[in-house]
Chains A and B, each alone.
Chain A
Amino acid sequence: MFVARSIAADHKDLIHDVSYDFHGRRMATCSSDQSVKVWDKSENGEWQCTASWKTHSGSVWRVTWAHPEFGQVLASCSFDRTAAVWEEIVGESNDKQRGLSHWIKRTTLVDSRTSVTDVKFAPKHMGLMLATCSADGVVRIYEAPDVMNLSQWSLQHEISCKLSCSCISWNPSSSRAHPPMFAVGSDDGNVAYGGKVQVYEYNENTRKYSKAETLMTVTDAVHDIAFAPNLGRSFHVLAIATKDVRIFKLVPLRKESTATGPTKFEVQIVAQFDNHNSQVWRVSWNITSTLLASSGDDGCVRLWKANYMENWKCTGILKGDGSPLTGSSGQPTAMSMVVGSSVQNSQNILNGMSAGRIANRVLFAPPLRQLTSPKINQSISFHLWILPEGGPGMVTCCLLRPS
């Protein structure tokens, strides 16, 4: 792994969240400087800031994208007790030429009386819905019934969790087999208050969310939670950032046909790591949930992966080394420049090579002039080999097998 480029974010204060859009071509950043910035990736991979505006009157904790089916829509939440929904409007042509875009505020959600700590859009099959959670311990679920009119949001559900909420995660499972579900975490540090992660499930009959499970073993403050993409499994996987990293499996128990209450789960702990030494602040899955990343007090981002025995293992660490950035800000680093020119080089060499080489080739002739010997050098190989977000590959299979 290497730093391909550094982007001059140019926020005036701490960055609290960075979020990719669904296709990975745009990102949004938010900061204590009360602003949100939107960045677009150009053809050559450079990030360009196309919008920057003041969004709140306090630190902006989180920013998140709606699914592109709903257009270009962002939600942000802030210390100023509000959450807001933003929509990009197609600007005038001269704006486009200058590479700028316009975002307008469609609504401010003012129901919370305390800092809104997290905001997340619901899975798209539920329509345009979003959930907020706040320090006063309330989860609120809003819906925009008309996706063409984002100025109208109605508060659909207000769920009191009793404990100060820090984070919320929708179960991304889009299959009809699972009713809508979310988990909410509390950063209340009082161990005596019991489980800090609650799972809520929507009940079609009562049209309400009701608590399906409290993870009783998680008694310390929880800072982040993340459901893993489902992959057609019958169970759910939930990662939790608390005083350590934990991965839980929620296996739905077979329902009695007469029962109307929420699904009951068998909660299994799959992994638990204290490598961060102290508090863990963020957890997040990659697209296919083969890797989990976590960030903690040790100043490291750690990458986790399971092997075939379902043993989870740290396979990569990113950490600040305190050295100054080389090269001027926003410019590609020396590394990527080098790579760029090399690509050119080899392409020239390749010109004029005939296609269909496999068929025409005489196997293994002429013998390779062997200047080098076969050698596996780990430190080198890391740069060279196809690494699907990997880290040292582990042969995992059991983990992903649907039970």
Chain B
Amino acid sequence: MEEVDVEPTVTNIPGIGYGKHMGFAWGPGDILVYETQFKASGPSLSGPAGLFIHQVRKDEDIYSPILRKLFNESHHIFVGLQTIKEDLPSKSRRTQFVSISRNYRSVIRACMEELQQVAVSTRDTEMATQYGNQVSILLAIELIWNLCEVLYIDAAPAGSLLLHLLDWVRLHKADVDEKARDVLQSDSPAEHHNYWDVVVSYVLQGSLVEARQMLVKQANLQPASRDMYKLMDSLLGKMPFFNPGGTETVTEFDVKWSNWHKEVESYLKDNSFASNHHLELICKILVGDEDTLLEQKELLSTWYHFLVTRLLYCHPTVKPFELHYYAQSCLTMFLDSRSVQEPLDSILLAAFEYDICLVIKDCSIVLNNWWFVAHLTDLLDHCKLLHSHNLNFGSNMREFLLLEYASGLFTHHSLWQCAVDYFDHCPELGRACLELQIERVPLGTERKALKVLRICEERQMSEQVRSICKIMAMRALRNNRLGSALSWSIRAKDAAFATLISERFLQDYCAKGTFSDLDLIDNLGPAMLLSDRLTFLGKYREFHKLYGEKRFKEAAKLLLSLMTAKIAPQSFWMTLLTDALPLLEQTEVIFSADQTNELMYCLEELTSSLNTTAPGADRPMQQEDVEQTKVELLRLSLARNLAMAVVKEGTMET
């Protein structure tokens, strides 16, 4: 069978001249378009140009809170389905799949009911139509899904198959119950103008208990024809239905049913109901008279109802592979030459033909609804149906549809989190797609960034983790939030950036004499080793802490090691030496003689390098003087300290 062919949808953009060039830009979930003129040379267009940019959007439905619930709840079912174990016995697997399928349908139903309520209660007629349309589509989806469940997932054998199909038709022809309620609630149900419609509808649906209850009311009104009603009642009551749980075989049932059928036929032949055309009609339906059934088009309303009714009264033990023959003929018989076969008809027909691939393909074309095809295909794939039907691209089709659906969710500000699980369960391209999508989630706040980050970390997406941290670090730095910038760049393991920010911290310290973000710097731990400058920052801060706690000896040792181990950049040595001054000036000797010697070496190394590299031309005289004074002061202090240390150490030895 040919797949449904669809012309591309045309969207008219008001405000852009007909036939004028259009520029465009892809955005998340939309396209921006604008009028332009691509020929690079030549004068501009006459008339106004460059006035408007139009934002063209498609996925309006994800903004509807009701449908959003559909997406959220089906997400849970989807995740549950992925965790069903492969090694379960096939029977219990099937039971699970059927129950999952029902869960999906129940979500659709719930959604439909809500939409229906909204459609009825809204005053805005345009919105009412829109909601109504959504309900129609959901109904179609549920109808197709239900049929697929019966035929493929439950895969009932002959006998039970028809029972399932009957349930399917009853569920989707619920207006009979509605009408019946009207009739029964009226003062005189048997005289209600819809009375016979309801009775016949019940018979067409095989709801014979209900039909009999209705008929009793009429029988009571017409004592004269009581016998005739009694006969009909017994025929209806006797009609055998297959009992899948029972001990009866299909063949035994078939015999029983044929006997009943012959009996009905005989009553029809001997005109038992000739005097009551209503009862005669029912009798003709019971024998499965095609012409009679076709006369009930109004009540049947669809060809598939006709199909099921015809099977019920002609071939109740229809086998799965015979269905397509009946389906095709019923469709042809039911639709007269004038009416056109709609997409829904083709899809249902393809389902009856067991052409799963075509069902999915047609659905994805005409429904424009990735939600449906993605979830259904996934379920069918779990049932291993796509393989048994010889589609070597089965699992890829599943993946492709899931990816399409998930990508759509990603454009939504909260649904994107559901999408992640869908990508996770696409083994081939899921990860690559997730990587592309997740790095584009706007990182509006730190909280959002942390959320995105966690998702990436859980999946070892190291490149995305790095990138997100880097973006956040850059943003913090631009806003002069050094602490945040530093912690993000530590998370990004970005040594260059950490160096740069450490540098800023040190500059800030030199300028202000205090550190900001003490908490962070005090608790760097091993992260300190990310970059030399960061190590220095951490250690230098440690020195300040020791000094503050008056642990002078330790402070002095650390200070010296910062220079001798070349952790401190030379540009910072003067600051460090100056920091040593108060330690040198303490009454107690803190720097030992050896340490003082080392300090002196450092000072000489620094001054000699300063003398060679900076002749002082680019430095104002005054600053030069200050530096010079500082050096002299240091030399003096160092010499004094050395003397004291030597004396002290000498005395201690003796």
Chain A residues proximal to chain B, CB less than 8 Å: 1-20, 22-25, 27, 29, 31-33, 47, 61, 67-72, 90, 115, 117, 124, 148, 166, 174, 187, 223, 229-232, 279, 281-282, 284-288, 290, 293, 295, 297-303, 308, 313-326, 329, 338-339, 341-343, 345-347, 349-350, 357-358, 361, 363-364, 367-398, 400-402
Verify if B162 is at the interface (C-beta below 8 Å from A). Answer: no
- Minimal beta-carbon separation of B461 from chain A (angstroms): 12
- Minimal beta-carbon separation of B201 from chain A (angstroms): 13
**Is the Cβ of B174 less than 8 Å from the Cβ of A367?**
yes
Verify if B158 is at the interface (C-beta below 8 Å from A). Answer: no
Taking a contact as CB atoms closer than 8 A, the residue among A10, A24, A349, A394 that contacts B365 in the complex is A394
Identify the stretch in B433-441, B512-520, B521-529 within 8 Å (CB) of chain A at 4 or more residues: B433-441
Within 8 A of A (CB), among B397-441: 397, 399-401, 403-411, 428-429, 431-433, 436-437, 439-441
- Give complex CA distance A332, B365 in Å: 31
Q: A320-B20, A368-B116 are in contact. List 20 more A-B contacts (CB 8 A).
A: A3-B54, A3-B56, A10-B51, A22-B440, A32-B44, A61-B40, A71-B478, A281-B38, A282-B38, A288-B433, A319-B13, A343-B64, A358-B73, A364-B171, A375-B137, A375-B342, A386-B369, A386-B408, A392-B9, A393-B369
Taking a contact as CB atoms closer than 8 A, the residue among B10, B367, B441 that contacts A23 in the complex is B441
Taking a contact as CB atoms closer than 8 A, the residue among A284, A345, A401 that contacts B428 in the complex is A401
**Is the Cβ of A397 less than 8 Å from the Cβ of B399?**
yes
**Is the Cβ of B38 less than 8 Å from the Cβ of A368?**
no
Verify if B117 is at the interface (C-beta below 8 Å from A). Answer: yes
**Is the Cβ of B344 less than 8 Å from the Cβ of A376?**
yes
Q: Please provide the 5 A-B residue pairs with the shortest distance between their CB atoms, ordered closest to farther.
A: A388-B408, A320-B16, A11-B50, A374-B139, A322-B18
The residue among A232, A370, A395 with the most chain B CB atoms within 10 A of its own CB is A395
CB-defined contacts of A364 to chain B, threshold 8 Å: 105-106, 109, 171
Verify if B295 is at the interface (C-beta below 8 Å from A). Answer: no
CB-defined contacts of B500 to chain A, threshold 8 Å: 148
Number of A-B residue pairs at CB separation under 8 A: 461
CB-defined contacts of A357 to chain B, threshold 8 Å: 73, 110
- Minimal beta-carbon separation of B508 from chain A (angstroms): 16
**Is the Cβ of B22 less than 8 Å from the Cβ of A384?**
no
The residue among A14, A317, A324, A345 with the most chain B CB atoms within 10 A of its own CB is A14
**Is the Cβ of B64 less than 8 Å from the Cβ of A346?**
yes
CB-defined contacts of A69 to chain B, threshold 8 Å: 467, 470-471, 474
- Give complex CA distance A382, B361 in Å: 17
CB-defined contacts of A339 to chain B, threshold 8 Å: 60, 63
CB-defined contacts of B21 to chain A, threshold 8 Å: 281, 295, 297, 299
**Is the Cβ of A397 less than 8 Å from the Cβ of B396?**
yes
Verify if B463 is at the interface (C-beta below 8 Å from A). Answer: yes
- Give complex CA distance A381, B6 in Å: 13
**Is the Cβ of B174 less than 8 Å from the Cβ of A387?**
no
Within 8 A of A (CB), among B56-84: 56-67, 71, 73, 76-77
**Is the Cβ of A347 less than 8 Å from the Cβ of B18?**
no
Verify if B321 is at the interface (C-beta below 8 Å from A). Answer: no
Given known contacts A2-B56, A376-B140, A384-B134, A18 and B25 CB-to-CB distance under 8 angstroms: yes
The residue among A90, A124, A324, A342 with the most chain B CB atoms within 10 A of its own CB is A342
B14 and chain A: residue at smallest CB distance: A323
**Is the Cβ of A3 less than 8 Å from the Cβ of B55?**
yes
Given known contacts A25-B442, A285-B26, A388-B404, A372 and B53 CB-to-CB distance under 8 angstroms: no
**Is the Cβ of A23 less than 8 Å from the Cβ of B442?**
yes
- Minimal beta-carbon separation of B313 from chain A (angstroms): 24
A320 and chain B: residue at smallest CB distance: B16
Verify if B24 is at the interface (C-beta below 8 Å from A). Answer: yes
- Minimal beta-carbon separation of A155 from chain B (angstroms): 23
The residue among A13, A318, A361, A385 with the most chain B CB atoms within 10 A of its own CB is A385
User: Can you name 9 A-B pairs with beta carbons within 8 Å?
Assistant: A14-B36, A31-B50, A231-B433, A321-B16, A378-B9, A385-B367, A393-B373, A397-B393, A398-B396
**Is the Cβ of A33 less than 8 Å from the Cβ of B50?**
yes
B440 and chain A: residue at smallest CB distance: A23
Verify if B185 is at the interface (C-beta below 8 Å from A). Answer: no
Given known contacts A369-B174, A374-B139, A393-B365, A388 and B33 CB-to-CB distance under 8 angstroms: no
Verify if B172 is at the interface (C-beta below 8 Å from A). Answer: yes
- Give complex CA distance A400, B401 in Å: 12
Verify if B136 is at the interface (C-beta below 8 Å from A). Answer: yes
**Is the Cβ of A374 less than 8 Å from the Cβ of B44?**
no
Verify if B575 is at the interface (C-beta below 8 Å from A). Answer: no
Within 8 A of A (CB), among B585-617: none
**Is the Cβ of B60 less than 8 Å from the Cβ of A2?**
yes
Taking a contact as CB atoms closer than 8 A, the residue among A6, A298, A319 that contacts B12 in the complex is A319
- Minimal beta-carbon separation of B493 from chain A (angstroms): 14
Given known contacts A349-B118, A389-B58, A393-B404, A384 and B50 CB-to-CB distance under 8 angstroms: no
- Minimal beta-carbon separation of A343 from chain B (angstroms): 6
Taking a contact as CB atoms closer than 8 A, the residue among A67, A284, A378 that contacts B6 in the complex is A378
Within 8 A of A (CB), among B156-211: 171-175, 177-178
Identify the stretch in B120-128, B533-541, B550-558, B627-635 within 8 Å (CB) of chain A at 4 or more residues: B120-128
Contact with A along B75-117 (1 / 0, CB 8 A): 0110000000000000000000000001101110110111011
CB-defined contacts of A29 to chain B, threshold 8 Å: 53
Taking a contact as CB atoms closer than 8 A, the residue among B59, B365, B409 that contacts A392 in the complex is B365
- Minimal beta-carbon separation of B41 from chain A (angstroms): 9
- Minimal beta-carbon separation of A71 from chain B (angstroms): 5
**Is the Cβ of A1 less than 8 Å from the Cβ of B49?**
no
Taking a contact as CB atoms closer than 8 A, the residue among A1, A20, A229, A295 that contacts B56 in the complex is A1
**Is the Cβ of B53 less than 8 Å from the Cβ of A9?**
yes
- Give complex CA distance A304, B453 in Å: 33
Taking a contact as CB atoms closer than 8 A, the residue among A5, A14, A279, A376 that contacts B49 in the complex is A14
- Minimal beta-carbon separation of A38 from chain B (angstroms): 13
Taking a contact as CB atoms closer than 8 A, the residue among B31, B53, B401 that contacts A395 in the complex is B401
Given known contacts A2-B60, A231-B436, A387-B368, A68 and B53 CB-to-CB distance under 8 angstroms: no
**Is the Cβ of B18 less than 8 Å from the Cβ of A174?**
no
Verify if B237 is at the interface (C-beta below 8 Å from A). Answer: no
**Is the Cβ of A326 less than 8 Å from the Cβ of B14?**
yes
**Is the Cβ of A13 less than 8 Å from the Cβ of B50?**
yes
**Is the Cβ of A386 less than 8 Å from the Cβ of B61?**
yes
- Minimal beta-carbon separation of A205 from chain B (angstroms): 26
Taking a contact as CB atoms closer than 8 A, the residue among A2, A4, A14, A174 that contacts B44 in the complex is A14
Taking a contact as CB atoms closer than 8 A, the residue among A302, A370, A380, A395 that contacts B400 in the complex is A395
Within 8 A of A (CB), among B437-455: 437, 439-444
- Give complex CA distance A343, B21 in Å: 35
A315 and chain B: residue at smallest CB distance: B8
CB-defined contacts of B369 to chain A, threshold 8 Å: 381, 385-386, 393
CB-defined contacts of B23 to chain A, threshold 8 Å: 15-18, 282, 295
- Minimal beta-carbon separation of A335 from chain B (angstroms): 9
CB-defined contacts of A12 to chain B, threshold 8 Å: 50
Taking a contact as CB atoms closer than 8 A, the residue among B12, B27, B133, B410 that contacts A380 in the complex is B133
- Minimal beta-carbon separation of B43 from chain A (angstroms): 10
Verify if B543 is at the interface (C-beta below 8 Å from A). Answer: no
B442 and chain A: residue at smallest CB distance: A23
CB-defined contacts of A6 to chain B, threshold 8 Å: 14-15, 52-55
Taking a contact as CB atoms closer than 8 A, the residue among B136, B344, B429 that contacts A372 in the complex is B136
B103 and chain A: residue at smallest CB distance: A358
CB-defined contacts of A23 to chain B, threshold 8 Å: 28, 440-443
The residue among A24, A69, A231, A284 with the most chain B CB atoms within 10 A of its own CB is A69
Verify if B244 is at the interface (C-beta below 8 Å from A). Answer: no
CB-defined contacts of A388 to chain B, threshold 8 Å: 59, 370, 404-411
**Is the Cβ of A384 less than 8 Å from the Cβ of B137?**
yes
